[in-house]
């Protein structure tokens, strides 16, 4: 046997041993799933890059059952009875490293936001001082800002009667105007200008695409946009630079915070800025929810008619003001059901990755230490038994 044959043989053997140990990882080896997915994260990276990961994973659940191994250390579950065990407040599962992708780069290094912080104790610490800003009573106080945006949307739509309208685009602009109004007291004027002002929506979407794909294997981030050299290099390639737009978004946030300071509002601290940054993601989820509601109503004429009849009836009884208030909308039971149904058919967040911490032995299933688990919120709705008439 030659020297090279020996080296080749040793390499082959160590590769085989490595993949065998990955495939037969204790605690996960008996959980069914696609063979290749159990060997590498490439399966999840690819399915995420196609934009169809949710459909793919729902199909896997149909084939393999409520627990599916979708990665070397990653399990997807579709059984909602496990939710309290994984996501309950006493759960030993914390947010996974996926959320690192949403940390903010600050002069002193990466800083987690209220959304991205993994350590539950630290989360409590970050949330305490800002919880009031996101409370229901604060949201209600901000209702007039929302009403002002709704009035613009209605005026614009009235002016387009008879034309083809991309409603998805309009509700996106609407959501962004609402969120920037309530966050920065500065409506950015997406609807008035009928465009993506300062390309902020494109910037956020670009970064979300990057975060979603690389977040499937977050350890890759330090070789990609987490690396200063790579970031500099891709800044010369516009298509790729568009995916690394966080600097742009932070610059926008900083610009608005400067406005606060100039007007001698209370000094804004870094943490406030980071939490306001999260609100951009709030605008995307709001836009996606509105799109889902309109989409399903357009697809389902029966639901559409029933909803209009409910609104007309309440209006005829004098139960609705103009614009309809949040409190009044709570009494429109069918309307509330429409919102909930649309959100469960098309959840804005398609999975919630959590990692079990080392002392997670109380969690009996799945039990492998330091593995990731994700719930598929759309799974219960996608099961044929949920809609027996459609079988």
Which residues between 288 and 347 bind ligand HEM (CB under 6 A)? 289
Give the residue with the Cβ less far from ligand HEM, 204 or 242: 204
Locate the DSSP E strands across the chain. Answer: 67-71, 74-77, 93-95, 104-106, 109-111, 352-356, 372-375
What is the smallest separation between the CB atom of 139 and ligand HEM, expressed in angstroms?
Answer: 8
> How many Cβ atoms sit within 10 Å of the Cβ of residue 230?
15
Residue closest to ligand HEM (Cβ) = 282
Q: Using the rule CB under 6 A, which residue among 195, 222, 269, 349 binds ligand HEM?
A: 349
Which residues between 98 and 127 bind ligand HEM (CB under 6 A)? 114-115, 127
Site string for ligand HEM, 226-265 (x = CB under 6 A): ----------------------------------------
Distance between CA atoms of residues 162 and 143, nearest Å: 30
Give the residue with the Cβ less far from ligand HEM, 15 or 80: 80
What is the smallest separation between the CB atom of 242 and ligand HEM, expressed in angstroms?
Answer: 24
Distance between CA atoms of residues 152 and 48, nearest Å: 36
Give the residue with the Cβ less far from ligand HEM, 11 or 139: 139
**β pairing state of 352-356 and 372-375:** antiparallel
Give the residue with the Cβ less far from ligand HEM, 102 or 225: 102
Site string for ligand HEM, 174-193 (x = CB under 6 A): -----x--------------
Q: Classify residue 358 as left (phi > 0), alpha (psi -120 to 50) or beta.
A: alpha
What is the smallest separation between the CB atom of 207 and ligand HEM, expressed in angstroms?
Answer: 16
Which residues between 37 and 96 bind ligand HEM (CB under 6 A)? none
What is the smallest separation between the CB atom of 10 and ligand HEM, expressed in angstroms?
Answer: 44
Residue 8: C-alpha distances to residues 12, 52, 60, 109 (Å):
6, 39, 36, 42
List all residues 6 or more positions away from 241 whose beta carbon is below 8 Å from its beta carbon: 234, 235
What is the smallest separation between the CB atom of 48 and ligand HEM, expressed in angstroms?
Answer: 15
Contact 209, 240 (CB under 8 A): no
What is the smallest separation between the CB atom of 168 and ligand HEM, expressed in angstroms?
Answer: 15
Contact 34, 60 (CB under 8 A): yes
Which residues between 259 and 288 bind ligand HEM (CB under 6 A)? 278-279, 282, 285-286
Smallest CA-to-CA distance from 303 within 246, 345, 259 is with 345
List all residues 6 or more positions away from 148 whose beta carbon is below 8 Å from its beta carbon: 181, 187
DSSP characters for 78-99? --GGGHHHHHSTT-SEEE-GGG
Give the residue with the Cβ less far from ligand HEM, 20 or 325: 325
What is the smallest separation between the CB atom of 381 and ligand HEM, expressed in angstroms?
Answer: 15
What is the smallest separation between the CB atom of 275 and ligand HEM, expressed in angstroms?
Answer: 6
**What is the binding site for ligand HEM (CB under 6 A)?**
114-115, 127, 134, 179, 278-279, 282, 285-286, 289, 348-349, 352
């Amino acid at each position: 046997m030659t020297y090279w044959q020996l080296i080749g043989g040793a390499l082959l053997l160590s590769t085989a041993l490595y993949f065998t140990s990955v495939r037969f990882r204790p605690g996960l080896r008996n959980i069914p799933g696609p063979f290749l997915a159990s060997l590498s994260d490439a399966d999840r990276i690819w399915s995420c890059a196609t934009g169809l990961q949710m459909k793919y994973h729902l199909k896997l659940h149909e084939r393999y059952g409520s627990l599916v191994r979708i990665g070397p250390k990653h399990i997807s579950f579709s059984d909602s009875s496990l939710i309290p065990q994984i996501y309950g407040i006493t759960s030993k599962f914390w947010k996974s490293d996926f959320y690192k992708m949403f940390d903010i780069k600050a002069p002193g290094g990466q800083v987690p936001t209220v959304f991205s912080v993994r350590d539950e104790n630290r989360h409590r610490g970050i949330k305490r001082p800002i919880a009031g800003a996101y409370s229901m009573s604060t949201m209600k106080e901000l209702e007039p800002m929302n009403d002002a945006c709704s009035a613009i949307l209605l005026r614009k739509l009235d002016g387009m009667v008879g034309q083809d309208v991309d409603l998805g685009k309009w509700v996106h602009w609407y959501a962004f105007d609402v969120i920037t109004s309530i966050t920065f007291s500065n409506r950015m004027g997406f609807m008035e200008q009928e465009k993506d002002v300062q390309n902020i929506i494109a910037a956020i979407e670009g970064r979300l695409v990057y975060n979603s794909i690389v977040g499937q294997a977050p350890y890759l981030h330090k070789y990609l946009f987490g690396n200063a050299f790579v970031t500099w290099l891709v800044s010369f390639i516009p298509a790729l630079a568009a995916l690394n737009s966080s600097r742009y978004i932070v610059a926008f946030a900083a610009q608005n915070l400067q406005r606060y300071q100039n007007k001698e509002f209370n000094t804004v601290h870094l943490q406030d800025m980071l939490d306001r940054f999260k609100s951009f993601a709030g605008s995307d989820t709001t836009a996606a929810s509105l799109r889902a509601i309109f989409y399903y109503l357009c697809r389902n004429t029966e639901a559409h008619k029933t909803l209009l009849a409910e609104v007309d009836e309440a209006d005829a009884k004098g139960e609705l003001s103009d614009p309809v208030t949040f409190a009044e909308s709570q009494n429109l039971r069918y309307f509330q059901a429409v919102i909930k149904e649309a959100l469960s058919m098309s959840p804005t967040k398609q999975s919630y990755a959590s990692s079990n911490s080392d002392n997670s032995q109380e969690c009996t299933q799945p039990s492998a230490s330091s593995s990731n688990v994700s719930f598929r919120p759309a799974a219960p709705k996608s099961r044929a038994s949920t809609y027996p008439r459609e079988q």
